[in-house]
Amino acid sequence: MKKALTALAAGVPLVAAAVYLPTASADETRDTATATTAACAAPSVRAPAGTKVESVTAVRHAGGTIHGTGLLGGEVSGVPAFCQVTVTLTHPGEGDHAKVQTWLPLAQWNGRFQAIGGSAYSAGDNGVGLGTAVKNGYAVTTTDAGVGDVLDTSWVLDSKGKVAGTPLKNFASRSQHEAAVVGKAVVDHVYGKRAAYSYFTGCSTGGRQGYMEAQAYPDDYDGILADAPAVNWDEFEVATLWPQVVLNNEKTYPTDCELDAFTGAAVKACDKLDGVRDGLVNDPSRCDFDPRRLIGTKVVCAGEELTITAADAAVVRKIWDGPRTTSGRKLWSGVPVGADLKGLARSVTDTDGTVKGQPFQVPALWVQLFLKKDPSFDLTKVTYSEFTKLFQQSRAEYDHVIGTDDPDLSAFRKSGGKLLTWHGLDDEYIPTEGTVRYRKQVERKMGGPQRVDDFYRLFLAPGTSHCGLNGQDGSADGLAALADWVEQGKAPRTLPATLTNASGEQVERNLCAYPQVSRYKGSGDPSLATSFRCVPSRH
């Protein structure tokens, strides 16, 4: 089962900054598994085009338990002995220093290469993903791109108060490609042969990096597992500040308990759309629950009875609907109806009793640093009209750099690459609709859904939060499914999943390849995947 990490920073859950850790339990049965005894010595590495190698080091590790660094933390145990090779790169004249780490199992290498993406504003893995990959027999690479931890944005503004172009370019695209080149070269040197297959894995920021690889560097990987991808970065990062803009402009701040009541009511109302009450909304596009139905409802929170007001319902309605201009033109999709509203619509009470919004740090930092170029900019003052200007500014300044929304994947298809994605339908930080929108754009560009299915498949996971962080995993083993597709030509029609429904019960489902959705057969145990089948969405 895939795992994801959570952490706390300044009292805010770092859910969007999660590392997605795929497993590969099926790998041991494949013919490419290789018993290997490797030497751990610093290899000679040829610098990728446009770079210079500053240093190469090699350290032998005994393995055991690996503790994750930085805010995400976490740990993985049972890691076998491995060789850690670190290559530091610079782009001459640009003053940057990017480290590429490659961990190589000293025995029982499975013959495969894996690269791992990052989280929030971190470009690479914190050690837990690397350890997990080594534990599963992979030689694995990640890069820090010369930037910092998940919320370390000290690199963004230069001494003149302008956005620093070199680290942004590294973070957006360049360093991932260079890590692929360096990592493969290290593998070749240490093992004396090339990896049989190469894969990229990541979720959130890592998912975006995977899509960037497919778009800009189509020959780097045989397969890319890119989940809950932060594509359309320049647009959705501003869009996810919208709930806070609504709270502050309406001067209405529903409590956490009231927000939960709205979500719970929506899930309950839309639960039966797939033919059975199973505690999951399998097709949220058909859910038209009106939050005004809760006006006057009593909610008990910390022993205090609260009454949901028309103002509360109006706020939630705007948040679900998503950002619009003052004239009503839709800018982006809103928070999914089944998602945790507290992720983006949380508020706090100051010591003087004043209630104000508490924005999620990732979009907050994007607006303050990349758009306003002012770390102290007061986000509570953003009006609806200024929000539209910020959205348009972000698109104009950054789409070409980090938008990651080029629908032309013809070179990736020609290279024989496979792209696999799952995205939680209850993602509270990256609206699923953005991924669906990108998939539709690819279909229009590349000849329709059937031709796209040949190399790119999307699976939507009911009841699943951002990167499966609330224990509601979207797939039992996405990496194994991807490897079967790449190595055996077995395209996944479904992905087996264990989900947690609204009652906290675990249920089995086979995630359906988009645009199909799961529908109850009319009989059978609703907790079993065999009681459901994939059918076209009725939306």
pLDDT at 274: 73
Q: Which two tokens stand for residue 16?
A: 């969007």
Q: Is the pLDDT of residue 338 over 80?
A: yes
State yes or no: is 466 an active-site residue.
yes
Is 185 within 8 Å of 161 (Cβ atoms)? no
* Nearest-angstrom CA–CA distance, 321 and 332: 9
Is the confidence at residue 522, as pLDDT, over 60? Answer: yes
Q: How confident is the model at residue 37 (pLDDT cuts 50, 70, 90)?
A: low
Number of structural domains found in the chain: 2
Examine the domain organization and report whether 165 and 50 are in the same domain.
Answer: yes
- 3-state secondary structure (DSSP) of residue 187: helix
Mean pLDDT, to the nearest integer, of 105-109? Answer: 95
Alpha carbon distance 137, 118 (integer Å): 21
Domain shared by 373 and 307, yes or no: yes
Predicted confidence at residue 471, as pLDDT, reads 41
H or E element that contains 216: helix 205-216
Closest CA to 461 of 530, 393, 529, 361: 529
Indicate if the pLDDT at residue 236 is higher than 90: yes
Q: 388 and 244: one domain? A: yes
335, 345 in Cβ contact below 8 A?
A: yes
| Domain finish residue from 366, 400, 434 | 400
Distance CA(237)–CA(431), nearest Å, equals: 11
Answer whether residue 393 is part of any domain.
Answer: yes
Going from the C-alpha of 162 to that of each of 156, 157, 159, 174, 390, the distances in angstroms are 8, 5, 7, 20, 17
Residues 158 and 243 in one domain: no
Q: Give the pLDDT mean for 47-66.
A: 96
241 and 148: one domain?
Answer: no
Q: Around Cβ 140, how many Cβ atoms within 10 Å?
A: 28
Residue 32 pLDDT > 80? no
Asked if 305 and 360 sit in the same domain, the reply is: yes
Indicate which residue of 466, 473, 477, 518 is catalytic: 466
Q: Are residues 243 and 188 in the same domain?
A: no
Is there a domain that residue 417 lies in? no
pLDDT higher than 90, residue 2: no
Average of per-residue pLDDT values in the chain: 91
In angstroms, rounded to a whole number, what is the distance separating the alpha carbons of residues 75 and 69? 9
Among 335, 366, 400, the domain-final residue is 400
Dihedral angle over CA of 258, 263, 268, 271, nearest 10: 180
pLDDT in tens, 73-83: 999 999 999 99
Identify which of 322, 308, 309, 313 has the alpha carbon closest to the alpha carbon of residue 243.
322
**Residue 460, CA distances (Å) to 15, 339, 475 in order:** 19, 14, 10
How many angstroms separate the CA atoms of 278 and 281, rounded? 8
For residue 241, give Cα distances in angstroms to 137, 289, 320, 382: 41, 23, 13, 10
Q: How high is the pLDDT of residue 475?
A: 40
Same domain, 44 and 175: yes
Which one is catalytic: 119, 175, 204, 475? 204
Instruction: Identify the pLDDT of residue 302.
Output: 86
Same domain, 140 and 254: no
Round to whole Å and give the CA distance between 234 and 484: 34
Q: What are phi and psi of 519, to 5 degrees?
A: -135, 135
**The dihedral formed by the CA atoms of 471, 474, 477 and 480, expressed in degrees to the nearest 10:** -160
Strands 223-227, 197-203: pairing is parallel
Residue-wise pLDDT tens digits, 395-431: 999 999 999 999 999 999 999 999 999 999 999 999 9
pLDDT higher than 50, residue 297: yes
- 12: its two tokens: 């805010």
pLDDT at 282 exceeding the cut of 90: no
Q: E strands along 275-363, which residues?
A: 298-301, 304-307, 347-349, 355-357
Give the per-residue pLDDT at 336: 95
Whether the upstream peptide bond of residue 254 has omega within 30° of 0, thus cis, is no
- pLDDT over 90, % of the chain: 83
Residue 349 inside a domain? The answer is yes
Residues 6+ apart with CB under 8 A from 294: 261, 262, 265, 308, 312, 313
Per-residue pLDDT averaged across 367-372, rounded?
A: 98
Q: Token pair for residue 517?
A: 């959705």
Give pLDDT, residue 275. Answer: 77
- CA atoms within a 13 Å half-sphere pointing along the CA-CB vector of 254: 33
Convert the pLDDT of each residue in 314-334 to its tens digit: 999 999 999 999 999 999 999
H helices present in 377-528, as ranges: 384-402, 410-414, 432-445, 449-453, 478-488
Which structure tokens are listed for 424? 């939680």
Q: In whole angstroms, give the CA distance from residue 416 to residue 454.
A: 10
Residue 30 confidence (pLDDT) above 70: no
* Least trusted range by pLDDT, from 115-119, 354-358, 499-503: 499-503
Same domain for 172 and 51? yes
pLDDT at 1 over 60: no
With a cut of 60, say whether residue 17 has pLDDT above it.
no
Q: What is the mean pLDDT of residues 240-252?
A: 98
Q: Are residues 142 and 245 in the same domain?
A: no
Helices 384-402 and 242-250 meet at what angle, rounded to 10?
Answer: 170
Residue 210 has pLDDT above 50, yes or no: yes
User: Which pLDDT does position 502 carry in this prediction?
Assistant: 86
The tokens 């609907």 sit on which residue? 321
CA distance linking residue 130 with residue 123, whole number of Å = 14
- Residue 448: inside a domain, yes or no? no
For residue 534, tell me if it sits in a domain: no
- How many Å apart are CA 400 and CA 532, to the nearest integer? 42
**Highest-scoring range by mean pLDDT, 298-302, 467-471, 535-539:** 298-302
Asked whether residue 492 is domain-assigned, the answer is: no
Position 29 pLDDT exceeds 70: no
| pLDDT value of residue 12 | 36
Same domain, 45 and 107: yes
Residue 51: other Cβ atoms inside 10 A: 21
Is a pLDDT exceeding 90 seen at residue 28?
no
Q: Which of 234, 405, 427, 477 is catalytic?
A: 427
Tokens standing for residue 294: 């809760």
* Nearest Cα to Cα of residue 301 among 258, 330, 266, 272: 258
Q: Is a pLDDT exceeding 80 seen at residue 168?
A: yes
Q: How confident is the model at residue 283 (pLDDT cuts 50, 70, 90)?
A: confident
Q: Kindly give the interhelix angle for 242-250 and 310-321, rounded to the nearest 10 degrees.
A: 150
| pLDDT recorded at residue 35 | 55
- Domain range spanning residue 37? 33-195
Encode pLDDT of 457-503 as tens digits.
999 999 999 998 544 443 447 999 999 999 999 999 999 998 988 88
Whether 509 maps to a domain, the answer reads no
- With respect to residue 294, please indicate whether it lies within any of the assigned structural domains: yes
